[in-house]
């Protein structure tokens, strides 16, 4: 189902310009906006309030009303801007200040929230809203006990609004991994106000997350009784009925909502529902009607184009979206749809250009930033992808897609604590989503939280008793708790359910190695290798295990096989070279790879290994010549390019050539710490410290215990004049290894800083 997007900023601006020509004054625009709000026509209200602000940019009341309208239109990013301006224009207006602080909380700016609320509480210590915001900021800073105490104070201060504070209390108990207390708080919220929509929604969501679907259904129905136009409840009921395979019930709710509230977003929601059920004719009828409206033109025609594309009518689809863009070049929906077509046709650069155009047309388009993040993630450009997903989350703090993708990327980047935070947020919105729950459990295991991981894994096993990954996770939990027998049982069950999965094999090997049973670990590995001799993941596991247990004779042929594979990771080149060095048999290794180049003169792995061995033999000139030969054969030979760049940078070579080589390696291996260190060091040597710092920071993030990476970063900070960070980084480098290559220079630099 596609995301329902709001009209583009340009469309609103043009409508506002037309309206502004009518000659009304500020107060007339405000009055008109108020009437639209009364009629729940928030897009129209936004236009009127924007015109009022144009007439009088210093009108705090106009900006406050505009901010409220943005919130009603589900546009928190624009709302945050206007609440900030309103609070600045009306510093004594508590409503404006508190709403601005609430937006800071959504943006996770917890320190700012605490500072701002403390200023209010100094003058008004019994202000319940300020106290509640302060409590939520404490929760954001992981001070859960303090947050719980403060919310209890708020309930005593403002018993008339106890329902909403109990909802906050429930959320805090969930954050503290206390589901029973959370449920009790949600039930108190419902008891405090039997007609509270937020309280019923919160309890319904909790019940859904615990697998109590019938109770959740009843609560969602109660919300619809209380507020028939509540989009969240209607959407939740429709989603619930779809997931329990009751599409007719889902349709009934959406159709009723579309008749009672025939706005463009609701009509598009119904159309998307029919698209999801493959009822294309009904969806097309709705979309054709919406396409005739001003605010639905781009969205509806983009969906119609997508339907044509999915039906195999590609020329029609392209024409439909191209015609839409000809009329409205800034249509975010049309630009993103065109991008989808191009990406499907493997025209990645053209597709990326359209997505960038969408983000430029409306920088606050969550959908555009999500798509940019997805493209960069697929290309292995993790840093850029994370920036895009973070921007999407800033614009929409409730974006589950952004939360999930950030959880996935941060976990892969070695930040399980941060990953679990993102995954926790996502699971609240997708309590029955399998992939999200698996991601959460992996994150919890990564940060060593065995207790919570165990609780989540038990929930998973209860729902999916034959899921191999669930049993593997149970084994991981048992290992973390030092329960080898339980771990082995779980891993054996996972292997039986998923005979082609490598993870149960890893688990069983870990159990054997922990017990000192080296022979058992090798037998388990080799039994699988006999069945899958060319499996790269299995070969990588074998290389790691053989070297870790000292079986270098077994490791050598495995590593040779890995470096011969297309797209081999530089880790395996290095490990193979280190193996030869450890065996003190570099001459034999050199002869082996020289013979390999005779058999295949264009073998990049063989040429690269020769260069690395020559380096290890301190034959820098010969190594440089071999790397140059390798890059001449294949300019994309990233390991050779990186190593050649390093030789230029550290041996008084051509720094311009070094920069070109390092940038080429970075393109192929954007997250490799050695590649980033090389690029940063070349920038540093060229006197470009500001450009050196970003890649050097990546190196330290990826390999925080490497003193040389920290030394290089510390020198770059010092060169840029950032004495504090330079000192911190160099001190840390020396604490990791007081005798690393460069330690003396690090001490001299530290002395000069002090």
718/720 Cα distance (integer angstroms)? 5
Q: Which two tokens stand for residue 313?
A: 């009518």
Enumerate residues 6+ apart whose C-beta is below 8 A from 469.
438, 494, 498, 501, 503
What pLDDT sits at residue 281? Answer: 93
Residues in contact with 591: Cβ distance below 8 Å, sequence separation at least 6, in sequence order: none
Distance separating alpha carbons of residues 125 and 294, to the nearest angstrom: 49
Q: How far apart are CA 199 and CA 191, in angstroms?
A: 9
Please tell me the distance from the alpha carbon of residue 551 to that of residue 513, in angstroms, as a whole number. 14
Closest-CA residue to 187 (of 211, 167, 208): 167
* CATH of the domain spanning 666-754: 1.25.40.10
Contact yes or no for 699/682 (Cβ under 8 A): no
Alpha helices by DSSP H, 617-652: 620-633, 638-650
Q: Domain limits of the chain?
A: 1-125, 174-227, 666-754
What is the reported pTM? 0.59
- Crossing angle of helices 468-480 and 450-463, in 10° steps, is 160
CATH class of segment(s) 1-125: mainly alpha
Alpha-carbon distance 342 to 346, whole Å? Answer: 6
Rounded CA-CA distance 626/411 in Å is 38
The tens digit of pLDDT for each residue in 323-340 reads 999 999 999 999 999 999
Helix axis angle, 416-429 relative to 197-209, nearest 10°?
110
| Residues of the chain scoring pLDDT < 50 | 1-22
> 161: part of which helix (H) or strand (E)?
none
Burial of residue 423, with CB atoms counted within 10 A of its CB: 0-12 exposed, 13-18 middle, 19 or more buried: buried
Task: Using alpha carbons, select from 416, 535, 435, 524 the residue that is nearest to residue 480.
Answer: 416
Taking the CA atoms of residue 123, residue 124, residue 130 and residue 134 in that order, the dihedral angle to the nearest 10 degrees is: 60
Q: How many CB atoms lie within 10 A of CB 18?
A: 11
Contacts of 381 (CB under 8 A, 6+ apart): 670
b/e per residue 678-697 (b: at least 16 CB within 10 A): bbbbbbbbeebbebbbebbb
Q: What are phi and psi of 740, to 5 degrees?
A: -65, 160
The yes-or-no answer to whether 174-227 and 666-754 have a common fold is yes
The values of phi and psi at residue 413, to 5°, are: -90, 5
Residue 176: the pLDDT is 66
Question: What six digits make up the tokens of 76?
Answer: 């928190």
User: Distance between CA atoms of 619 and 621, rounded to whole angstroms?
Assistant: 6
**Domain range 174-227, CATH class:** mainly alpha
Alpha-carbon distance of 300 to 331, in angstroms, equals 11
Q: How many CB atoms lie within 10 A of CB 751?
A: 8
- Tens of pLDDT, residue by residue over 100-142, are 888 887 777 878 888 888 888 888 888 888 887 887 777 777 7
- How far, in Å, CA of 357 to CA of 10, rounded? 13
Question: How far is residue 367's CA from residue 711's CA, in Å, rounded to a whole number?
Answer: 40
């Amino acid at each position: 189902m596609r995301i329902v997007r709001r009209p583009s900023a340009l469309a609103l601006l043009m409508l506002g310009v037309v309206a502004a020509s009518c000659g009304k004054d500020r107060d007339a625009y405000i009055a008109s906006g108020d009437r639209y709000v009364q009629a729940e026509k928030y897009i129209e209200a936004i236009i009127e309030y924007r015109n009022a602000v144009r007439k009088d940019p210093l009108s705090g009341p106009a900006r406050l009303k505009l901010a409220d309208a943005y919130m009603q239109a589900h546009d928190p990013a624009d709302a945050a801007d206007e609440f900030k301006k309103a609070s600045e224009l009306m510093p004594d207006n508590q409503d404006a200040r508190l709403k601005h602080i609430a937006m800071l909380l959504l943006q996770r700016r917890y320190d700012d929230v605490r500072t701002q609320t403390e200023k209010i509480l100094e003058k008004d210590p019994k202000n319940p809203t300020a106290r509640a915001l302060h409590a939520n900021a404490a929760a954001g800073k992981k001070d859960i006990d303090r947050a719980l105490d403060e919310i209890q104070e708020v309930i005593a201060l403002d018993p008339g609004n106890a329902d909403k504070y109990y909802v906050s209390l429930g959320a805090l108990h969930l954050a503290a991994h206390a589901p029973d207390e959370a449920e009790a708080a949600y039930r108190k919220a419902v008891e405090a106000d039997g007609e509270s929509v937020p309280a019923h929604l919160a309890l319904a969501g909790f019940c859904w997350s615990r697998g109590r679907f019938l109770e959740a259904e009843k609560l969602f129905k109660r919300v619809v009784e209380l507020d028939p136009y509540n989009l969240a409840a209607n959407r939740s009921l429709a989603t619930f009925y779809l997931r329990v395979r009751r599409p007719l019930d889902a349709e009934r709710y959406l159709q009723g909502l579309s008749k009672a509230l025939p706005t463009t977003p609701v009509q598009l929601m119904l159309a998307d529902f029919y698209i999801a059920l493959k009822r294309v004719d009904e969806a097309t009828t709705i979309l054709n009607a919406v396409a005739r409206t001003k605010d639905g033109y781009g969205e509806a025609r983009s969906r119609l184009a997508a339907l044509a594309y999915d039906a195999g009518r590609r020329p029609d689809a392209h024409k439909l979206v191209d015609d839409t863009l000809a009329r409205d070049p800034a249509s975010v929906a049309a630009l993103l749809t065109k991008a989808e077509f191009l990406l499907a046709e493997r025209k990645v650069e053209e597709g990326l250009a359209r997505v960038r155009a969408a983000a430029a047309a409306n920088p606050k388009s969550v959908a555009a930033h999500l798509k940019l993040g997805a493209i960069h993630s697929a290309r292995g450009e993790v840093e850029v992808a994370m920036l895009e997903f973070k921007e999407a989350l800033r614009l929409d703090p409730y974006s589950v897609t952004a939360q999930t993708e950030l959880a996935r990327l941060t976990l892969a980047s070695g930040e399980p604590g941060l990953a679990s935070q993102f995954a926790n947020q996502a699971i609240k919105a997708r309590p029955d989503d399998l992939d999200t729950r698996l991601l959460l459990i992996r994150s919890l295991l990564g940060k060593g939280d065995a207790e919570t991981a165990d609780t989540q894994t038990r929930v998973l096993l209860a729902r999916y008793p034959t899921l191999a990954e669930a049993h593997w996770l149970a084994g991981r939990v048992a290992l973390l708790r030092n329960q080898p027998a339980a771990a082995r049982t779980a891993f054996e069950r996972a292997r039986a359910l998923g005979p082609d999965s490598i993870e149960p094999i890893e688990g069983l090997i870990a159990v054997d190695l922990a017990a000192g049973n080296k022979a058992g670990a090798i037998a388990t590995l080799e039994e699988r290798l006999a069945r899958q001799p060319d499996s790269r993941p299995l070969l990588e596991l074998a290389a790691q295990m053989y070297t870790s247990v000292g079986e270098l004779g077994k490791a050598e042929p495995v590593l040779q096989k890995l470096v011969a594979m297309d797209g081999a990771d530089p880790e395996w080149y290095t490990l193979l070279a280190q193996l030869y060095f450890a065996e003190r048999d570099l001459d034999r290794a050199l002869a082996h790879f020289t013979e390999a180049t005779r058999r295949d003169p264009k073998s990049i792995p063989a040429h690269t290994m020769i260069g690395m061995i020559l380096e290890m033999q301190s034959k820098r000139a010969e190594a440089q010549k071999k790397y140059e030969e390798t890059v001449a054969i294949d300019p994309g030979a990233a390991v050779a390019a990186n190593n050649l760049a390093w030789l230029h940078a550290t041996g008084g070579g051509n720094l311009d050539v070094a920069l070109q080589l390092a940038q080429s390696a970075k393109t192929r291996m954007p997250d490799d710490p050695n590649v980033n260190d090389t690029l940063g060091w070349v920038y540093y040597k060229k006197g470009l410290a500001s450009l050196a710092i970003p890649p050097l920071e990546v190196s330290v993030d990826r390999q925080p215990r490497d003193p040389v990476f920290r030394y290089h970063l510390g020198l770059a900070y010092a060169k840029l004049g950032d004495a504090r960070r330079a000192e911190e980084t160099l001190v840390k480098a020396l604490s990791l290894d007081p005798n690393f290559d460069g330690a003396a220079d690090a001490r001299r630099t530290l002395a000069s800083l002090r």
